[in-house]
A and B are shown apart, each in its own frame.
Chain A
Amino acid sequence: AQTVTQSQPEMSVQEAETVTLSCTYDTSESDYYLFWYKQPPSRQMILVIRQEAYKQQNATENRFSVNFQKAAKSFSLKISDSQLGDAAMYFCAYRSGAGSYQLTFGKGTKLSVIP
Chain B
Amino acid sequence: EAGVAQSPRYKIIEKRQSVAFWCNPISGHATLYWYQQILGQGPKLLIQFQNNGVVDDSQLPKDRFSAERLKGVDSTLKIQPAKLEDSAVYLCASSPREGLMNTEAFFGQGTRLTVV
Q: Quick check: is B19 within 8 A (CB to CB) of the other chain?
A: no
Q: Tell whether, in the assembled complex, residue A102 and residue B48 are in contact, meaning their CB atoms are under 8 Å apart.
A: yes
* Across-interface contacts of B112 in A (CB, < 8 A): 43
Least Cβ distance of B99 to chain A in Å?
9
Least Cβ distance of A100 to chain B in Å?
5
Within A96-115, the residues touching B (CB, 8 Å) are 97, 100-103, 105-108
Q: Mark B19-55, 1 if CB is under 8 A from A, else 0.
A: 0000000000001010100001111110010000001
Q: How many residues of B contact A (CB 8 A)?
A: 28
Using CB atoms and an 8 Å cutoff, list the residues of chain A in contact with chain B.
4, 33, 35, 37, 42-47, 50, 52, 91, 93, 97, 100-103, 105-108
Using CB atoms and an 8 Å cutoff, list the residues of chain B in contact with chain A.
3, 31, 33, 35, 40-45, 48, 55-56, 89, 91, 93, 95, 98, 101-105, 107-110, 112
